Amino acid sequence: MENRPPAPSGRNGALTNYWLGGLTAGFLALAALFVVKAGGHPVARAVIPLVDPKFLATTPWRQTYADLVKAKEDLSDYDCYGCHDKNKPPPIRYDANHKIIVPQEHSDIVMGHGSHDRNNLCFNCHNEQNLLTLQVRDGREVSFDNIPPLCGSCHGPTYRDWENGAHGRTSGYWNRSLGDFQRLSCANCHNPHAPRIPTREPAPGPHQLHPNPETHEPAEAAP
């Protein structure tokens, strides 16, 4: 015969039976609760709206001269000598506060390059001897489709970052042996006459995975 441990008897046996009975009742109650929950209606989750496509767009918000040429767009706005005389630079006028007076023909231009209006002279960038080109501070001439060297003549650290891929929203392959890459030009993001990028609406924050159990709405993010 097998040697079995003696069954609990007396007071210890009664306590053991009470504990076992309590545990059994607890498990049965939990099982009944799960059955009721499973048979009930599922909690409706809040509908998460789709993100506005403008937050996912990769197209730059400005087109450069090079973009217009590539797209075969109208380039008449860049035909300076359609109005200006080739034999002499256009005159520049200033008001009493020495702020440049933008001619009516260029009323769409808002001058705001640099703080305290220190860069309010057209010929800081435009070549007064050849309006079809731009002039770098060292005297070099660059075309309208190659403006980074012009911008870099004043914004050296930013130009260095642009050349190394840390500025200009570089996309594609960092390892050039694997494929091509694309880097935006300065004017794709900055208006040369007013380079400060306009304030944009921020993209919506992430939704919580677990909704608030009381309202069934996504829990608010901590401030």
Q: Higher-confidence residue: 84 or 201?
A: 84
> What's the pLDDT score for residue 41?
63
Extract the tokens encoding 126: 């435009």
Extract the tokens encoding 121: 């002279």
Point out which residues pair with 94 in neighbouring strands: 100
In contact, 216 and 43? CB cutoff 8 Å: yes
Assigned domain for 221 exists: no
**Cα–chain-centroid distance for residue 100?**
34
Assigned domain for 175 exists: yes
**Position 73 pLDDT exceeds 50:** yes
Q: What is the pTM of this model?
A: 0.67
Closest CA to 135 of 151, 157, 119: 151
Q: Higher-confidence residue: 140 or 200?
A: 140
Q: How far apart are CA 145 and CA 66, in angstroms?
A: 5
Q: How far apart are CA 80 and CA 82, in angstroms?
A: 5
Q: Higher-confidence residue: 218 or 136?
A: 136
Assigned domain for 65 exists: yes
Q: How far apart are CA 223 and CA 217, in angstroms?
A: 17
In contact, 161 and 167? CB cutoff 8 Å: yes
| Range in 21-30, 86-95, 100-109 with the lowest mean pLDDT | 21-30
pLDDT tens for each residue of 136-150: 988 899 999 999 999
Q: Higher-confidence residue: 58 or 130?
A: 130
> What's the pLDDT score for residue 223?
45
> What's the pLDDT score for residue 222?
44
**Position 120 pLDDT exceeds 50:** yes
Percent residues over pLDDT 70 in the chain: 83
Q: What is the mean pLDDT of residues 186-204?
A: 88
**Position 201 pLDDT exceeds 90:** no
Q: How far apart are CA 218 and CA 66, in angstroms?
A: 46
Listed in sequence order, the residues at least 6 apart from 74 whose beta carbon sits closer than 8 Å to its beta carbon are 68
Assigned domain for 45 exists: no
Assigned domain for 111 exists: yes
In contact, 193 and 110? CB cutoff 8 Å: yes
Assigned domain for 110 exists: yes
Assigned domain for 61 exists: yes
pLDDT tens for each residue of 153-194: 999 999 999 998 889 988 888 788 898 888 899 999 999 999
Assigned domain for 43 exists: no
- In which domain, by residue range, is 117 found? 53-189
- DSSP label of 180: -
**Cα–chain-centroid distance for residue 202?**
8
Provide the number of structural domains found in the chain.
1
The Cβ-side half-sphere exposure at 11, using a 13 Å CA radius, reads 0
- DSSP label of 223: -
pLDDT tens for each residue of 29-70: 888 777 766 655 666 666 777 888 887 788 888 999 999 999
Closest CA to 126 of 116, 134, 118, 115: 134
